[in-house]
Chain A
Amino acid sequence: MSFPWAKQYQPTSAVGKWMDERLPLPRFIFGALGPGYPTPKNLNAFYNFGVLAGVALVIQIITGVVLAMHFAADTRVAFDSVEHIMRDVNGGWMIRYMHAVGASFFFGVVYIHIFRGLYYGSYKPPREMIWMLGLVIFLLMMATAFMGYVLVWGQMSFWGAQVITGLFSAFPVVGTHIQTLLLGGYSPDNATLNRFFSLHYLLPFVIFGVIVLHVWALHIPGSNNPTGLDVKTEADTVPFHPYYTAKDFVGLGIYLIVFSAFVFFMPNSLGEPDNYIPANPLSTPAHIVPEWYFWPFYAILRAFTTDFLGVPAKLWGVLAMFASILLLFLLPWLDQSPVRSNNYRPVSRILFWVFVAVGLLLGVCGGKPAEEPWVRLSQILTAYYFAHFLIILPIVSKLEKTKPLPGSISEAVLAKYGKGGAAPVAQPAE
């Protein structure tokens, strides 16, 4: 589906015409990413991050395929093979640092992409499927990143695998069986390393498949925009190409500059030094912490310290950690406001920034050892995390008095650039 004014693909050459009648791939690209995709003309820089996430995945797949040519999935030599890549493979240090830093950047970009969706209400009708597919991608990314981290077979790899699979043992009856199944044994060993390598190679392609669905679903209603208004006329849009291809290219350039600064000048700053110690099942590291992008969830996991209603604290922590992500699937139904963008929702807008702060602070707590004041702080923050989505947002979104919306996207753009001086025409929320 597209807007009626979307440009139609016209093959100009004989070859193009021949191809169009047999396999209309150029027509497909033209409509999906080319001049045939009308896009709201007021998208700001935060709308770059979807494309950047796609680029980050491609970087991970390309560098990962090359690394797999030299990596040996065997507990006796896995760590050595990584060092072999760093020292003896031509350019191997660069490929590996790009892959390791790239994982962090992929998460960073996706977090910004998610928060952009939260702020502008991109999860609201008719975009619920896009939002939920995005969450599926996020969950798959977490599984993939965790398993990739284990492959290095350093101290944090080994003990991370032990702790994370150990979470499942909190479930009654089936728990230990699930853990055994995940590990392929009773503790992380060769079977673990091999199945994680197999899945770590598989899942990125599954992610790729879900991204296709995510983008497909996006093309049904088209992109949301900072006003949250629906596109009404052709004046509200510009063709994706050349307008957003040009804009995304600038965003990509800036992204690659920051990415390169980390890869070439501080490649280990986002990782744990302990993972440069080969795995040793007989020596537990003082602080077992995951990579930074898991810290908020790790903090939630550790925030539950008391048995409650006859359920052990550990199980509460595991349930809360899974619930903290799964509840996001319900967000389109928890937020009842008819207005999408927080630009016009004064109370929700404050709550959004409070939530951002809570999320960041949870991240800080998750990276610290489990001691005071961090445990108590993460308990209060965890309470707010759940209260925000499950209690506050449903009520506030119902009661909140929203600001008047502009009549259309073009009107909002004109008002912003001061042309014509048109003040936003008051329009009651639908």
Chain B
Amino acid sequence: MIRLGALAVGLLFVINVLWGAIAPREDAAPDMAKQLHKHPKHVEWTHNGPGNLGIFGTFDRGQLQRGFQVYKEVCSACHSINRVAFRNLADLGFSEAQIKAIAAEYEVAAIDANGEPTTRKATPADKFPLVYANEAAARAAQNGANPPDLSLMTKARPDGTNYVYSLLTGYSDDVPKGWTKPDTSYYNPYFHSINIAMPPPLSADGQVTYSDGTPATVDQYAKDVAVFLTWTAEPKLENRKETGVAAILFLIIMTGLGYLSYRKVWADIKKPA
């Protein structure tokens, strides 16, 4: 009975789904955005260590500071990094006094002695404030676009660090034939929908002045800010990898000892012939 019932149910599903497979269907319209879309360029990052494997490797502190400078002078006009606190900048190698000075450049909401809303200078304990009070304010100021918070950007996109670098260096005036681009948008094949509302933020070499002698090029700016945003998304990256190397070394020794005792325990069963 069970087998007959199973046979009937089986035939029902099989015929149904095979009918679906042979039923004629219209070819999907070719999606031009998909054809134009490019995967991120491949870059070797110091925080990925030898071979870009992601096992060893630490952030380059100088690069993080340059990336922060690019963020502060360029990106922060529209994009917040609201999940990062000023105190976290100590990870970049800034001193306590420097962090206090950076925080003091920002204003955050507060309540005054009379209970009225006011603002005060930020302290190291505060987070980087939002650029716009809310989404509506952002869209009103940005031609209808809403610049996303960048704190988690490199984790919120596939191959995030390479993606940020590729996007920033991927603008092109060469709009392919047949592709429609509204005048308020820019052509960037690394963006998922190709047309991006953000104007090319890094437009010319020398736009940001580096004090450490690093070449002030658009390519370098893009790399530096991509690394900085990797840190904002994963501030515990170095800690994580150090812990991982120690944990795995421990486990290899433990498993090796376990294997030796396994051999000893089983010796009388698995005697060689």
The distance in angstroms between the C-alpha atoms of A391 and B156, with both chains bound, is: 45
Would you call A330 an interface residue if the criterion is a C-beta within 8 Å of the partner chain's C-beta atoms?
yes
- A94 lies within 8 A of B243 (CB): yes
Known: A274-B156, A387-B10. A250 touches B3 (CB 8 A): no
Residues of B close to A313: CB separation below 8 A: 20
User: From residue A395, how far is it (CB to closest CB) to chain B in Å?
Assistant: 9
Complex interface bits, A245-277 against B, C-beta within 8 A gives 1, otherwise 0: 011011011101100110111111000011011
Stretch from A160-168, A218-226, A376-384 forming part of the interface with B = A376-384
Would you call A303 an interface residue if the criterion is a C-beta within 8 Å of the partner chain's C-beta atoms?
yes
- A304 lies within 8 A of B28 (CB): no
Residues of B close to A268: CB separation below 8 A: 155
Known: A250-B258, A305-B20. A417 touches B273 (CB 8 A): yes
- A243 lies within 8 A of B269 (CB): yes
Partner of A330, one of B2, B21, B28, B151: B2
Known: A242-B265, A334-B3, A394-B7. A260 touches B20 (CB 8 A): no
Residues of A close to B270: CB separation below 8 A: 417
In the complex, what residue of chain B is closest to A305 when comparing beta carbons? B20
- B156 lies within 8 A of A276 (CB): yes
- A246 lies within 8 A of B265 (CB): yes
Residues of B close to A260: CB separation below 8 A: 244, 247-248, 251
Residues of B close to A382: CB separation below 8 A: 13, 17
Residues of B close to A379: CB separation below 8 A: 17-18, 20-21
Residues of B close to A80: CB separation below 8 A: 83
The distance in angstroms between the C-alpha atoms of A23 and B87, with both chains bound, is: 56
The distance in angstroms between the C-alpha atoms of A93 and B233, with both chains bound, is: 12
Residues of A close to B148: CB separation below 8 A: 277
Classify the secondary structure of A's interface with B.
helix
Residues of A close to B14: CB separation below 8 A: 383, 386-387, 391
Residues of A close to B20: CB separation below 8 A: 303-306, 308, 313, 379
Residues of A close to B25: CB separation below 8 A: 305
Q: How many residues of B contact A (CB 8 A)?
A: 58
Would you call A323 an interface residue if the criterion is a C-beta within 8 Å of the partner chain's C-beta atoms?
yes
Residues of B close to A390: CB separation below 8 A: 6-7, 9-11, 13
The distance in angstroms between the C-alpha atoms of A418 and B247, with both chains bound, is: 40
Would you call A83 an interface residue if the criterion is a C-beta within 8 Å of the partner chain's C-beta atoms?
yes
Known: A83-B83, A273-B156. A246 touches B3 (CB 8 A): no
The distance in angstroms between the C-alpha atoms of A266 and B233, with both chains bound, is: 14
Residues of A close to B179: CB separation below 8 A: none
User: From residue B216, how far is it (CB to closest CB) to chain A in Å?
Assistant: 31
Complex interface bits, A154-187 against B, C-beta within 8 A gives 1, otherwise 0: 0000000000000000000000000000000000
- A273 lies within 8 A of B258 (CB): no
Would you call A132 an interface residue if the criterion is a C-beta within 8 Å of the partner chain's C-beta atoms?
no
Complex interface bits, A195-237 against B, C-beta within 8 A gives 1, otherwise 0: 0000000000000000000000000000000000000000000
User: Which parts of A276-294 form the interface with B (CB within 8 Å)?
Assistant: 276-277, 286
Would you call B147 an interface residue if the criterion is a C-beta within 8 Å of the partner chain's C-beta atoms?
no
- A273 lies within 8 A of B158 (CB): yes
Residues of A close to B53: CB separation below 8 A: 265
Partner of B2, one of A86, A246, A323, A334: A334
Would you call A238 an interface residue if the criterion is a C-beta within 8 Å of the partner chain's C-beta atoms?
yes
Would you call B129 an interface residue if the criterion is a C-beta within 8 Å of the partner chain's C-beta atoms?
no
Residues of B close to A267: CB separation below 8 A: 240
- B269 lies within 8 A of A257 (CB): no
User: Which parts of B1-50 form the interface with A (CB within 8 Å)?
Assistant: 2-3, 6-7, 9-11, 13-14, 16-21, 23, 25, 27-28
Would you call B160 an interface residue if the criterion is a C-beta within 8 Å of the partner chain's C-beta atoms?
yes
Interface size class of A (residues with CB under 8 A): 35 or more
User: From residue B118, how far is it (CB to closest CB) to chain A in Å?
Assistant: 24
Q: Report which residue of A238, A261, A320, A383 has the largest number of chain B beta carbons within 10 angstroms of its beta carbon.
A: A383
The distance in angstroms between the C-alpha atoms of A216 and B180, with both chains bound, is: 66
Partner of B13, one of A238, A320, A372: A320
The distance in angstroms between the C-alpha atoms of A256 and B250, with both chains bound, is: 11
Complex interface bits, B240-273 against A, C-beta within 8 A gives 1, otherwise 0: 1101110110011011001101100110011101
Residues of B close to A304: CB separation below 8 A: 16-17, 20
- A376 lies within 8 A of B6 (CB): no
Partner of A383, one of B18, B54, B155, B241: B18
User: Which parts of A66-104 form the interface with B (CB within 8 Å)?
Assistant: 80, 83, 86-87, 93-94, 97
Partner of B252, one of A93, A257, A419: A257
Would you call A58 an interface residue if the criterion is a C-beta within 8 Å of the partner chain's C-beta atoms?
no
Residues of B close to A266: CB separation below 8 A: 54
The distance in angstroms between the C-alpha atoms of A253 and B249, with both chains bound, is: 11
Known: A41-B269, A250-B259, A334-B6. A276 touches B155 (CB 8 A): yes
Known: A250-B258, A308-B16. A394 touches B6 (CB 8 A): yes
Would you call B72 an interface residue if the criterion is a C-beta within 8 Å of the partner chain's C-beta atoms?
no
Would you call A344 an interface residue if the criterion is a C-beta within 8 Å of the partner chain's C-beta atoms?
no
The distance in angstroms between the C-alpha atoms of A327 and B3, with both chains bound, is: 11
Would you call A389 an interface residue if the criterion is a C-beta within 8 Å of the partner chain's C-beta atoms?
yes
In the complex, what residue of chain A is closest to B157 when comparing beta carbons? A273
Known: A242-B265, A419-B273. A277 touches B156 (CB 8 A): yes
- B152 lies within 8 A of A265 (CB): no
The distance in angstroms between the C-alpha atoms of A83 and B85, with both chains bound, is: 12
The distance in angstroms between the C-alpha atoms of A316 and B236, with both chains bound, is: 47
In the complex, what residue of chain B is closest to A382 when comparing beta carbons? B17
Residues of A close to B261: CB separation below 8 A: 246, 249
The distance in angstroms between the C-alpha atoms of A304 and B11, with both chains bound, is: 14
Would you call B75 an interface residue if the criterion is a C-beta within 8 Å of the partner chain's C-beta atoms?
no
Known: A238-B269, A305-B23. A389 touches B10 (CB 8 A): yes
Would you call B170 an interface residue if the criterion is a C-beta within 8 Å of the partner chain's C-beta atoms?
no
Give 7 nearest A-B pairs by CB, closest first.
A264-B244, A390-B10, A253-B255, A379-B21, A276-B156, A386-B13, A246-B265
A-B contact pairs, 5 of them (CB 8 A): A306-B16, A333-B2, A379-B20, A379-B21, A380-B21
What would 6 more interface pairs be, CB under 8 Å, given A263-B244, A390-B11? A243-B266, A257-B255, A304-B20, A309-B16, A333-B2, A383-B13
